[in-house]
Amino acid sequence: MRKYGYHQSNSDHTLFLKHRKSKVTTLIVYVDDMIITGDDTEEISKLQELLSTEFEMNNLGELKYFLGIEVARSKNGMFLSQHKYVLDLLTEVRLLECKPMDTLIVQNHRLGEYSDQVSIDKVRYQRLVGKLIYLSHTCPDIAYAVSVSSPGKGLMFSENVHLNIEGYTNTDWAGNILDRNSTSGYFTFMGGNLVTWRSKKQKVVALSSAEVEFRDMAKGLCELLWLRSLLIEVDFPLSSTMNLLCDNKTAIDISHNPIQHNRTKHVGVDRHFIKHNLEEKII
């Protein structure tokens, strides 16, 4: 790709970019599948011809299906879903006629190990959890339930008048009854559209709710910085300072306060990382 004038993205090594006459062409590669997009129609056509001379490939036209994700366009925006993927999964577990539930997991539900439980097929369980993790790419509402247990729904990307970047973080302090580790998560939005998210069990035991929220804020900030770096590479205009939102007042106060706190020395790196980005007005 370099000999054609493209450079590899520092934010995503599967992404190749070419800037020409204030326009950009992007190539996304996943094994032997590719997506070409951008606002330089002349360069897009040229790239398709060049790739066809190097590889045996087919042009499938406008993107409608990619890696199990269905893409539909309308005047309101772009809709991503995994309808066929869900049907195949329900068929595999023999739940095609199951009734939908409004809540995927009971609030404050606690999972544990009990000696009187019937053993399950561990390999099959792990395979199904893996498939649910992939399904959460278009159904973020199942991310928490999937991380704890480690159709027709999808993601709608709507056109909005603003392109603000926002991140939300939250945790359940000491939620695991076996080891008292916490499950944390973050969501990032661009222009009011959900673009990335994650829910995962933390590897350390937090001594306070402020500590676990603080660690999660640092993870959420890393995601915002990565998204910012990616948008800069594709010449996307950043309209304002990014917003990072957290509902723990103590964690927010520590982020703004430069005084060393005895009870938070062990999260000092995260504290200074967040404080630095606040002072630089990145968030």
List, in order of start, the domains of the chain with CATH numbers.
2-61 (no CATH), 77-155 (no CATH), 161-279 (3.30.420.10)
Distance in angstroms (rounded) separating the CA atoms of residues 102 and 112: 24
DSSP assignment string, 1-63: -GGGT-EE-SS-TTEEEEEETTEEEEEEEETTEEEEEES-HHHHHHHHHHHHHHS------S-
How many other C-beta atoms can be found within 10 angstroms of the C-beta atom of residue 47?
Answer: 23
Report the phi/psi class of residue 209: left, alpha or beta, with left for phi > 0 and alpha for psi in -120 to 50.
Answer: alpha
Per-residue pLDDT 10s for the chain (283 aa) are 888 899 999 888 899 999 998 899 999 998 889 999 999 999 999 999 999 888 888 888 999 999 888 999 888 888 989 888 888 888 888 888 888 777 676 666 666 666 677 777 777 877 888 888 888 888 887 777 766 655 445 567 787 767 789 999 988 887 777 788 888 889 899 888 888 888 888 887 887 878 888 888 889 999 999 999 888 888 887 777 899 999 888 888 877 775 655 666 667 778 778 888 888 888 8
pTM of the model: 0.62
Chain centre to alpha carbon of residue 187: 7
φ, ψ of residue 276 to 5 degrees: the values are: -60, -45
